[in-house]
Structure 1
Amino acid sequence: MFTPRPGAAPFGRMVLAQASMEARLMLRNGEQLLLAVVIPVLVLVGAVTGADRIGLEFDDPAVDVLTPGVLALAVMSTGFTALAIATGFERRYGVIKRLGSSPLPRSGLLAGKVLALLLVEALQLVVICAVALLLGWSPTGGAVAVLGVVLAVVLGTAAFASLGLLLAGALRAEATLAAANLVYLLLMAAGAVVLPASAYGRFGDVVQWLPSGALGGAMRDALLDGTVAGVSLLVLLGWTVIGTVLTAKTFSWE
């Protein structure tokens, strides 16, 4: 005979359910798919085909240098911009408030969103890598390179997700939309995410400490040199800690 057992589900099951829902919502949203896939692919194709015309000179083929940066850009677009905008409007429409009244704790909400981001990013990386291979990309390195990419994606996602939630939890939805897009454009243009920090001259010494510069540097070190960028990963870890602590203190469910 069935005996009811009222109570919350185990934490892990709640996180997986939340992640599954978040991933489905992201994949159904046309604006987020534009940020996640279309813009990075356009940046990759445009930069590779136009590198010679705009005077970009690298020690390696342009596609080999630009592909890791575009992969980092894809992580940033999903982990920061798309997440911040979606969460901002979820707060506005009361979705976050209702989640706050459920057994799902704030840590579970954050974990579910990060896991959903990783699932979407896996799709992004597959698409971008396929396009890059068609453009002549020749990644180097073996297991060490794979390890470096995995660590960069995980820590980069955690860093940008914590900062995106910090933004979404502190501002109104419209302000979050404007700020997230502005920050995305600024980091894409001057944050050493697509181009290496050395391309920015003396300013490169500053931008390499930004989460965008650290993520781009870690991806390039892994896919160009076949190494794990310890310093860049520590920078991403530091931003993750800062963003998580501030989000936990300031995030509002409504």
Structure 2
Amino acid sequence: MSVTDPRVLSRSDTRPAAPRSRRRNVVAVGVWRARFELLQYFRSGDTLFFTFLFPIFMLGLFSVAFGADGDVQIAPDVPAVPMAQIFLPGMVAAGMLLSGFQNLAMDIAVDRSEGVLKRLGGTPLSPVSYFLGKIGQVAVTGTLQAALLLVFAATALGVPLPTDPAAWTTFAWVFVLGITTSALLGVALSSVPRSAKSATAVVVPIALALQFISGVYLTFSQLPEWLQDVAGIFPLKWMAQGMRAVFLPDEFAVLEQNGAWDLAGVAVALGAWLVVGLVLSRLTFRWIRRSA
């Protein structure tokens, strides 16, 4: 048979198609899995409240409790603004943390403990498709949560939203980096709880502590310097800082640790944590615990 035989060329031309087909199949299964995860998510009342509606509830609570007297000036060099506007950036960041980090860490730990992951491991579902499904669910629910939070802040609490397109561009990339990083770190942390019962005890205190030291429930500039340094190690501080750059007047930048919004630092920190989360989630994820 000649090397120029059309049958030889036909076979050689089709060889690269197999990997491409497999990649398309992995993505397609991941999209299907994301749809399934969304249906499960919105059928769970407790999850829906504590990771979806909780930031909205807390924003309303803090605004009523601390903003009853009108606009507040939290420092001499910054203008007075509604208390809801001060808390909004932190609540947006907390929503990303709850949707990705807390929600996934607990859900995957429970699925592993109850044997759901073991059964999935016996199917053609690949870990990549499973990850894509979880991250897709987080992306959709996180986006809906942020949209509801902003609508609630603007309509019910009178928070002025940015009109500058550059501010919304900053919001977009901080949100995408933040929620993706949170999701990957949640997948990685899910390997720590040894049972469904211990998942809440392991995950919730970590998420709660990060919120208190990262400027969500307390004004970040009022925290001790050493605690600000500790918070700077973790991604939530940078997510909240990026959101403060979006929703607060420029004068508030002087209250940051370095006296500036430092959006380049926000991008570097979140990018680094995204890589860490990706590596850890891939290294630690197992359908079944090694000790099982």
TM-score above 0.5: yes
State the Cα distance separating 1:56 from its structure 2 match: 8.3
Q: Which residue of 2 aligns with 1:224?
A: 248
> Could you say what secondary structure the match of 1:79 adopts?
helix
Question: CA offsets per residue over residues 22-65 of structure 1, 9 Å max, x none?
Answer: 11111111121111233212210121122258x98253332222
Q: Which amino acid aligns with 2:202?
A: A
- TM superposition score normalised by structure 1: 0.87
Alpha-carbon distance between aligned partners in 1 of 2:66 and 2:94, rounded to the nearest angstrom: 18
Deviations 1:180-236 (A, max 9, x none): 111122122223234453121312233133111111111111222588822112211
> 2:89 and 2:241 mapped to 1: Cα distance?
9
Q: Which residue of 2 aligns with 1:37?
A: 52
- What is the aligned counterpart of 2:127 among 86, 106, 112? 106
Larger Rg computed on CA atoms:
2
Q: Assess, with a 3 A threshold, how the Cα gap between structure 1 residues 139 and 100 changes in structure 2: closer, same or farther.
A: same
Q: Identity percentage over the alignment? A: 25
Structure 2: state its 5+ residue gaps.
1-20, 251-260
User: Structure 1: 5+ residue runs without aligned partners?
Assistant: 1-6
Say if 2:205 is the partner of 1:182: yes
- Provide the rounded CA distance (Å) in 2 between the counterparts of 1:193 and 1:230: 21
The residue aligned with 1:235 is 269
Point out the more displaced range, 94-103 or 30-39.
Answer: 94-103
**Number of corresponding residues:** 248
1:57 is aligned to 2:74: yes
> Following the alignment from structure 1 to structure 2, what is the Cα–Cα distance between the partners of residues 56 and 77?
29
User: Which letter maps to 1:62?
Assistant: M
Deviation at 1:100? 2.4
| Aligned Cα root-mean-square deviation (Å) | 2.5
Which residue number corresponds to residue 86 of structure 1?
107
